[in-house]
Structures are given as structure tokens and as C-alpha cells.
Amino acid sequence: MTEDPRMFTSLDEDVDNQEKITFGDNSKGNVKGLGKIAISIDNAITNVLYVSSLGFNLISVGQLCDLGFQCIFNKKEVIVTKEDHNEMVFKGFQHNNLYLVDFSSDEVDIKTCLFTKTSFGWLWHRRLAHVGMGTLKKLMKKERIRGLKDVTFEKDKLCSTCQAGKQVANTHKNKAYLSTSRVLELLHMDLFGPTTYATLGGNKYCLVIVDDYSRYTWTFFLQDKAEVASIQEVCKECPKSISCQGQENKE
């Protein structure tokens, strides 16, 4: 947990149900966020609490071990390595019986470097038509993209383009009343095409017009969208135009 929000690479402040933190003097501290902090170029610790009333930054050794790290303590320092390949992630020093880690030093301050690698991941995400991060990891692992290596593909933020492309528009609410009072007051029109298969007459477009009051429906099959403009002239010359305008059949 930390009191500095600037240390987070990602922070979720929607934590209303998070329990309060109890300090050594039995005072309480409110948790204002939950996020992730980079600790090396390729590693980060998750589920870090943002507690503004905290006086110090605290690291749990048990939680580090749960995340796949191992901690080696001696009289002078602590060395944190990856459990699978023993590569050093960061190290701290002992002071007044406490082990301290200075993440502001040049040795471990890799926030800028991590941001660069993450930016490259999102760059490739945009280059390849917004492919998912999991797919990009597989492509890099199998060396499917020439020259692509040592790039971190992590979904640590929301892609606005992907969000807009996957959003679904809300449907209109059904009306329980009739909002029109006469025929031809409101017309609903839909022009669609080209269809996969043409009609027997060779048409691939269709114009549908529905009168809101009478529900009378006109259907026109078209070979091209430009023919829509000529439909008005056809309706004027149609002998049924008078009966269409007076149509009150609500079936």
C-alpha cells in the first residue's frame, strides 16, 4: 500500500466496498484506490492499495511470494528475484531493523522504460487492426512478426477505438400510444442493399416505406440506389395514389 498516487501505472478509484485499513494505533485509514505499480522493466505488483492517510509505503513479503517472487534477506540488504529463473527484480537495504527499497533511485526507477515498452505494445495493437493483446503475445512468442521482440503486451488501459467499435446502441422504447392522427403524417423508410443474392428481376436493393398511422406498406425493388429519386414521380402518376392517401386500414 502507498500514499502516493503518482507511483501507480494504473489505478482504479472505484473501491466503495473496500474495507478500511487498521494501523498500529488502532486508527482507521480509507482505501481510495486499487492499482498496479511497476517494480522492474518487465514486472509489476498488482492489488496495491492507495491509502492517502498512510505515512509510509509498505510492501508485503507474503504477497510478493504469492506473485511469483522470492526474497533473500541478509544483514545488509534484501534481494527480490523471480522464482522461475532467479533473475533479480530489485533490491533494498537494511536501516534500523527495517528493509527499505528506494524506487526513486536510478537503479530501480524504470517507470519511464516500462511506459515505453507498454506504448510499443499499444502501437502494435493499432498497427495490426486492434488485435487483442493475447493474440499479440502468441505472435511474438511464435516469432510470427519479424523484428518483434522484448515488447510488453498488457491491457493496462482501455482502447477508445475498440470501445467505440464494440458499443451497442440502445433500442428505442416501445410506444403504448399512437402519436399520429392521420395518414401520411409520418413515414418510416428503410433503404438497404446490396443483398447477397439478386431477385428474379435482377434487383439487389429494396426500399420499404411504412405509414405510421395506417401501417400501410410500400415495397420497391431497385437495381441501383439512384432509382429512389424517381419513385416519387411514379407515385404521382399512379392511379392508386388517391386511395393510398386515404388509406385508413390499420391491419
Q: Are β-strands 28-29 and 77-82 bridged in parallel, bridged antiparallel, or unpaired?
A: unpaired
Report the b/e string of 137-153 with b at 16+ CB within 10 A.
eebbeeeeeeeeeebbb
Contacts of 42 (CB under 8 A, 6+ apart): 117, 152
Furthest-apart CA pair in the chain: how many Å? 103
Higher pLDDT, 189 or 57: 189
> What is the rounded distance in angstroms from the CA atom of residue 215 to the CA atom of residue 209?
9
Amino acid letter at 190?
D
For residues 133-155, give the mean pLDDT. 83
Return the number of other C-beta atoms located less than 10 Å from residue 217's C-beta. 10
pLDDT tens per residue across span 22-75: 877 777 888 888 888 877 666 778 888 888 888 778 888 888 888 888 888 888
Is pLDDT at 107 greater than 50 in this prediction? no
Q: Which residue has the cell 482504479?
A: 12
pLDDT tens per residue across span 207-233: 999 999 999 999 999 999 888 888 866
Domain with CATH 3.30.420.10 in the chain: 187-245
The three cell numbers locating residue 226: 439512384
pLDDT of residue 119: 63
For residues 81-108, give the mean pLDDT. 74
Whole-angstrom CA distances from 178 to 106, 184, 186, 210, 212 are 72, 14, 11, 14, 8
Q: What percent of the chain has pLDDT over 90?
A: 17
> Can you state the angle between helices 133-141 and 111-127, rounded to 10 degrees?
100
> What is the rounded distance in angstroms from the CA atom of residue 210 to the CA atom of residue 190?
9
Whether the link from the prior residue into 194 is cis, omega within 30° of 0, is yes
Return the number of other C-beta atoms located less than 10 Å from residue 122's C-beta. 20
Which CATH code for domain 187-245?
A: 3.30.420.10
